[in-house]
Structures are given as C-alpha cells and as structure tokens.
C-alpha cells in the first residue's frame, strides 16, 4: 500500500517532534507500506520569516516574499530526511520544483495546476522516502507559495498524482470533532464525515483541514484520514458518504468564525446594475464576500447587506465610497464585532424544521441574528461576536447531545 503522510507545523515544531514523526514513518514502513511525506514549516517559523520581511518593508515584494517563506519547509524537510536516514531509512528531501509541483503564476496564494510525479515515483521504486515541502511550487522559474493551509492541499494532490491508497493528515488534534473542544469540552470526535460536510465545516471556520484540500480529495476520490502525531489513536475518515452512527444525527458538526463585519448599502437603484458593479470591484480587490442578503424596498431600489472579514472592512468601505456617484446609493452602514455560527449536516436535506430549531435556540438565549445564509446541508447565522461561544454551546446541546 502506498501512503502519503502529511505533518503540520506543530507536528514538526522541534527536534523532538521531528524525531517522533520519523518514528511514525518508520513504523509505517515496517508494516510493509511505501511512503511519501509532505511537511509544513517548523512551528511558527513562517510567522517569524514574515516578521523579518516586514521589518525590512511593510509591503515586501511578493516574489521575494515567496522566495523567503519557502525556505521554512526546506528546513523541516531536510531535518526529517536526516532523522529517517539515522534510522536506516532511505530518505531524500524534495523542494516544490524538485517534486515538479506546478502552480499558477501568482505569489502568496497560488493554486496548483499539475504535478508531474515521475521523479517521486522513481524515488519510491528505489525504496527512498521522498520528504516533500508542502505549501510551495513553481511557476516558470519562480518559487510560489500556496497560502495558509497549502500543505494540506499539496499532500492530497501528491496522493492523487501518485495514485496513493491513502492520505494521512497528521496534526495536533486526534480528528474532526462535533465542534471546537476548547469551546465545548465534551465535544465528540467523529469516526467519519462526508466530503461535503467537511468542506462546509472547513469553509465555515473549522481549521482541521483546508477547504482546498477537501475539494481536491473529493474531486480525485482520495481516501483521507485526519489523526494526531502526538498520540496513537484512531482518527476521522473523510469519505464520499458517511454511513456510521453520526449519520443518524441531523446535524454533524458546528463551526464558527470570529472577526466578521457587515456592510449594508441602502437604496441602490435597480437600473444601475449595482450588484454586479459592487461585487465585481470587491472581487478585483481580492476581498472575499461571504453572506449576501438583498431586499427590495421599492420597485426601483434595493438594500443589500453582505459580510467580509473585519480586516477587509475598511478597504471595502473605501472602495464602495469611490462608487457612490456611479451607483447613486442613499447610504452605507458598517458593523464590526460580529461572528458567524453554523450548523452542518447531510441529514438536514431530508429533515425539515432544522433552521427553525436553530432560531428557537438562539432566541431562547436572547442572541440576536443579524443575517442568515443556508445551503442544503448548512445554516449560518451572523451574531454578535461576544455571544458566539454561548451560541455554540447552546446549539451543541440542542443538536448533538442526548
């Protein structure tokens, strides 16, 4: 069996942790499996490299920033290869260009285009464990980085390119839980979860897996398991259709995201094609818009509200201010200090009344709901940020506890 194993920053955060990871890989090899390994940078080294760059220039050149940040994983990959060699395991570190991981010509948040795995396959056939730097690739002659969570994505992509039997994502938690155990200490670990549910949870704030990694796993049907590198314990399987005990629950998990801001445009004339203009300009500026609510107040005007990350709020308001004459809207309102809480579950498709129950729980706790967004398998509410933990606890008790 060919296994791709990915180890995150906390898993390789020190020499002791790297030695422990080398033991995990060695056990996998002794069990008769072949391995390819993808690693993140050690601990907080990416943040430290960013701080160095910003000490030189508040807005460093994107190409040079990628060249700098890519060195963090080269350190962890080389050290892990050394630790494996010390154990008598043939191992070799591979940078993004050596592994032939090709991306878009974008710096800071490039998307994968393709992987040419012949070099990796040759190494594996020779009994060598390739230790690959996640989070990076090449575009032309330049090093590119994939953005936060990119190592998850490259691990799944490597597994797909190699036709691996399994992709193991090792992290500092033992799997995917019904919600964040730091907020609900008795949250349950799920034995399995569907790709669609995991993708919703990842997009809605759960930080166990990156959404792009889940998308890739679903697209290429990669068998995926999330487990801990700190303790030996069964993890959570991410599968096409979950069939275990959890699927008898209407709701599978609860996610939340802080630092949300709401922006409302009042009285946008319909004839100005305002929505296309507003969201086109925001997209061009790289501002991600989340929940959108439009209401027709008069036959000629609409009010539209949407959410962005708090960090993007000022820039968004500045862009919209520049469009005031063009759009002729009557007013602009902004509100920070918000959060998003979401319930997710494939069982919601065939169970009416789930949204009503969510609203009832929040109303009984006197938690105001500012905006609502739904899909077939999720309901999200925008609420005050200082009430988010209480909301998660109340919803968990209502939907996920006996």
What residue ranges define each of the domains in the chain, with the CATH number in brackets?
2-172 (3.40.1160.10)
Q: Is 71 annotated as a binding residue?
A: no
96 labeled binding residue: no
Model's pTM, two decimal places?
0.86
236 is in an annotated binding site: no
- Summarize the confidence of residues 59-65 as an average pLDDT: 93
Question: 114 a known binding residue?
Answer: no
- Does 337 belong to an annotated binding site? no
* 299: its two tokens: 């036959």
Does position 299 have pLDDT exceeding 70, yes or no? no
140 annotated as a binding-site residue: no
More confident residue, 265 or 19: 19
**Residue 321 in marked binding region:** no
Tell me whether residue 10 is annotated as binding. no
The per-residue pLDDT for 391 is 97
pLDDT above 90 (res 296): no
Residue 46, marked binder = yes
| Residue-level pLDDT at 298 | 65
pLDDT tens column, 137-161? 999 999 999 987 789 999 999 999 9
Query: Dihedrals φ, ψ of 145, to 5°?
Result: -120, 155
72 confidence band (pLDDT: 50, 70, 90) = very high
């Amino acid at each position: 069996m060919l296994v791709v194993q990915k180890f995150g920053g906390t898993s390789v955060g020190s020499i002791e942790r790297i030695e422990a990871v080398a033991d995990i890989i060695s056990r996998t090899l002794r069990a008769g499996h072949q391995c390819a390994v993808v690693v993140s940078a050690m601990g907080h080294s990416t943040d430290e490299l960013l701080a160095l760059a910003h000490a030189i220039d508040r807005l460093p050149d994107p190409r040079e920033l990628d060249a700098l940040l890519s060195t963090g994983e080269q350190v962890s990959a080389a050290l892990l290869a050394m630790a494996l060699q010390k154990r008598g395991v043939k191992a070799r570190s591979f940078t993004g260009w050596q592994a032939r991981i090709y991306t878009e010509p974008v710096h800071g948040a490039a998307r994968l285009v393709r992987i040419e795995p012949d070099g990796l396959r040759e190494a594996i056939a020779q009994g060598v464990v390739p230790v690959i730097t996640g989070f990076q690739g090449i575009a032309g002659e330049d090093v590119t980085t994939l953005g936060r969570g990119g190592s998850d994505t490259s691990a799944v992509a490597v597994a797909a390119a190699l036709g691996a039997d399994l992709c193991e994502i090792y992290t500092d938690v033992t799997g995917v839980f019904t919600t964040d155990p730091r907020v609900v200490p008795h949250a349950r670990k799920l034995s399995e979860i569907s790709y669609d549910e995991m993708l919703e949870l990842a997009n809605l704030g759960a930080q166990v897996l990156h959404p792009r990694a889940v998308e890739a796993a679903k697209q290429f049907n990669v068998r995926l398991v999330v487990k801990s590198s700190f303790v030996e314990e069964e993890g959570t399987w991410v599968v096409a259709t979950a069939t275990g005990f959890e699927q008898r629950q209407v709701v599978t998990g609860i996610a939340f995201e802080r630092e949300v801001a709401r922006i409302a445009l009042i009285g946008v004339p319909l004839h100005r094609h305002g929505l296309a203009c507003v969201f086109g300009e925001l997209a061009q500026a790289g501002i991600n818009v989340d929940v959108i609510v439009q209401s027709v107040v008069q036959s000629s005007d609409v009010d539209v509200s949407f959410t962005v990350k708090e960090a993007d709020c000022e820039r968004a308001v500045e862009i919209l201010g520049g469009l005031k004459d063009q759009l002729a809207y009557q007013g602009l309102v902004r509100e920070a200090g918000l959060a998003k809480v979401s319930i997710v579950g494939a069982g919601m498709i065939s169970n009416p009344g789930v949204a009503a129950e969510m609203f009832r729980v929040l109303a009984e706790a006197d938690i105001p709901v500012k905006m609502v967004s739904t899909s077939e398998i999720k309901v999200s509410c925008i609420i005050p940020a200082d009430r988010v933990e209480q909301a998660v606890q109340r919803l968990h008790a209502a939907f996920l506890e006996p």
